[in-house]
Structure 1
Amino acid sequence: MKPVIAGTTMPILEIALDAGESIVAEGGDVAWLTPGLQLDTSTAHGTGGQGGFMSGLKRVLGGAQLFLTRYTAPSGGMVAFAAQLPGTIREVHIDAADTFMIQSGSYTASTTDVEVSVALQKKLGAGIFGGAGVVFQKLSGSGTAWVQLAGEITEYELKAGESLLIHPGHLAMFRAEMPLEFASIKGIKNKFFGDSLFLAELHGPGHVWLQSMNPAKLAAAIEPYLPDRSSDNSRP
């Protein structure tokens, strides 16, 4: 297996597969692929070999699809995935000592023994993310995963006893063993939160990846410029 991440602001993940090799991804995210690959869609994919419908439901709660697609190359081939937002695609190596939490929607693809599941959900009120709150997925098992991070990336290595307050939309990825709490910070007024701001407090030791682009704020910024579909539907 030979993965290549190419491009700049809108990167492409291209994975060359040797004969008999497979990867798993959300089916609708594929950009292009060579003929001859075998595609198999199932709830069992993305469960680290633990399979089953309930495992698929847990993945859905984390923002992924119920059915994931397994791409297998009987005699070799290639499959490519395109970033959905300006930013970067990172390769993450996972084993029993290295598990990661990623923001919902960041998962792109993985090798077959990686498990993608919901790990944290938090309602933060109607002012953030359209009232849906924040959801993080856990990458565990054994293998390699590729994740999409939005905008520019800043990394911090927090020592034991250190912590960082982060807007949830900018918290892209962190090591799963790091404690995470949410708190309402008084004294900041803005259009989303009134007189308080919800922030995530991440505690060390561990590594954290922060993204400069907040997808929810980006969606809110362009919403006023989108066509009003409700008015179109009301026309005779």
Structure 2
Amino acid sequence: MAFGGPMQQNPLGSLADVTGEFPGGYYKIDHRDTNTLLSVTLLPNGQIFTQPGAMVAMTPDVTLKGKLKFSFRKMITGGEMSQTTYTGPGEILFAPPVWGDIIAIHLDGNTRWTVGKGGYFGMSDGITKETKSQGLGKAIFSGEGLFVQQFMGRGVLFITSLGGIVQRHLKQGEQLIVDNGHLVAWTCTYSIERAGGSISAGAHSGEGLVCRFTGPGIIYIQTRNPEALSEWIAATNLTTSFNSQTIYYAVSGTAPNRITTFEFYESHFGGPTQYYHFQIIFYENLPNIVECLYLETYDGGASATIGVQQSGNGPSMTYLLNQALLTYNTTVIFDTSAGTFSG
């Protein structure tokens, strides 16, 4: 089965520009497919709604109005509490927050579209947006959370991606399995399963979980996985034991006895097998106590262990701080040569 058809390309090899109309204006999508711009021309009183921060430039005659709609329901469901409204006449340039494409979906008033986390970019007038629960099982394992956004009406819905966007039309009964980190928008039904086995195995992390879509309907898939990108960025910021390392944190235990640990590593200057290891620990059941630790650890020449370890290997020093007695800019000094501290 082929994904889509041949893509139109311009002489420079990028995807072809896309143009279209919506009630109150018209649009052009260019500079595709990972540095995409959405150009919108609004007629008098024509409107377009977008996520905050999407505007790159606009002509002075456009009226811009931001709205903050606070509600406990939106706070709980994760729905947007703010949006920006642009009213014509005039022209506006929009761009996504990360490198990716923008797709215009023309809603006909009959089809309901579901958009995953981070996929909504904007919409024309005539479309309604709702936040819906997709059930606890899908919330945990789909990667989209407990609530997703659904769109109905007549107009144009703009979605965005990380990387390029692949469109797939499914016929009645046709199925497609999609990795749970690559969903953008869909009209099909789907179920969650573990790739190659039972969903129960490895369910705690979501690793290896996929979404099985069944047609009829349409699916938009992004070519890059946001979670994988975050992990890659974090990994590239980590260096060897001769340089400063980054900060990690972890929460262990269950309420009311949870422990939150912040940890970071610093190389021991001139010592290829040694690095400094610091932790700050907060205890939920001891609200007035903050525990600071210095651990002198060795790695045999390898880079420092990544992640919160709560390890006590090697000499260590512990400093307890009572939050009620702390003054502003309290400093604790660890003398890693003498094995003492002061503060």
- Shared topology, TM-score over 0.5? yes
Match of 1:67 in 2: 82
Residue type at the aligned position of 1:180:
Y
- CA distance in 2 between counterparts of 1:4 and 1:149 reads 17
| Matches of 2:100 and 2:84, distance apart in 1 | 24
Letter in 2 for 1:181: S
> Does residue 1:7 correspond to 2:31, yes or no?
yes
Q: Residues of 2 paired with 1:194 and 1:103: CA distance? A: 19
| Matched-pair identity in % | 23
Shift of 1:112: 2.2
Q: Does 1:183 align with 2:193?
A: yes
Given the alignment of the two structures, is residue 39 of structure 1 paired with residue 64 of structure 2, yes or no?
yes
> Following the alignment from structure 1 to structure 2, what is the Cα–Cα distance between the partners of residues 211 and 17?
29
Match of 2:140 among 124, 128, 150: 124
Cα separation, 1, equivalents of 2:91 and 2:206: 51
**Aligned-pair CA distance for 1:58:** 4.4
CA offsets 1:209-229 (integer angstroms, 9 cap, x no match): 222111111111112334736
- Any stretches of 5+ residues in structure 2 without a counterpart? 1-24, 238-244, 248-261, 266-279, 281-328, 332-343
Letter in 1 for 2:85: R
Q: Which residue of 2 aligns with 1:166?
A: 178
State the distance in 2 between where 1:94 and 1:60 align. Answer: 28
> 1:110 is matched with which residue: 123, 126, 132?
123
- From the superposition, tell whether residues 153 and 24 of structure 1 become closer, same or farther in structure 2 (CA, over 3 Å): closer
Shift of 1:124: 2.7
**Inter-CA distance 193–164: structure 2 relative to 1 (3 Å threshold):** farther
How many matched pairs?
216
CA shift, 1:13, in A, is 0.6
Cα deviations by residue, 1:106-163 (Å, 9 ceiling, x for unpaired): 11111122122223443336xx86xx84753212122111111232333322222222
Task: Indicate which of 229, 233, 251 corresponds to 1:218.
Answer: 229
Is the helix fraction higher in 1 or 2? 1
Give me the whole-angstrom Cα distance separating, in 1, the residues matched to 2:206 and 2:35. Answer: 36
Provide the C-alpha distance between the structure 2 equivalents of 1:13 and 1:60, rounded to a whole number of angstroms. 31
Distance in 2 between residues matched to 1:225 and 1:191, nearest whole Å: 26
Q: Which has the larger radius of gyration?
A: 2
Q: For 1:169 and 1:183, how far apart are their aligned partners in 2?
A: 14
Q: Is the 8 A contact 2:117 2:145 kept in 1?
A: no
* Conserved 8 A contact 1:58-1:117: no
Kept in 2, the 8 Å contact 1:91–1:147? The answer is yes
Residues 1:184 and 1:87: Cα distance change in structure 2 (over 3 Å): same
Native 8 Å contact 1:113 1:141 kept in 2: yes
Gaps of 5+ in 1: 45-52
SS at match of 1:169: coil
For 1:223, what is the secondary structure of its paired residue?
A: helix
Change (3 A) 1:57 1:6: farther
Aligned partners of 2:93, 2:158: CA distance in 1, in Å?
A: 12
1:48 alignment partner in structure 2: none
Letter in 2 for 1:14: S
Structure number with the bigger relative contact order (C-alpha 8 A, sep ≥ 6) is 1
Residue 228 of structure 1 pairs with residue 246 of structure 2: yes
Label 1:194 to 1:105 Cα distance change in 2 as closer, same or farther (>3 A): closer
Tell me if structure 1 keeps the 8 A contact 2:30–2:36. Answer: yes
> Aligned to 2:81, what secondary structure does the other structure show?
coil
Matches within 5 A, 1:42-53: 42=67
Residue 30 (structure 1) aligned with residue 30 (structure 2): no
Label 1:210 to 1:134 Cα distance change in 2 as closer, same or farther (>3 A): farther
Distance 1:80 1:57 in 2: 32
Q: 2:42 maps to which residue?
A: 17
SS of match in other structure, 1:181: strand
Q: 1:123 to 1:83 in 2, by over 3 A?
A: same
Alignment of 1:145-160 (within 5 A): 145-160=157-172
Note the alpha carbon deviations across 1:166-211, whole angstroms, 9 max, x for none: 1111122211xx22211234559x9997797321111111121222
Query: Does the alignment pair 1:203 with 2:237?
Result: no
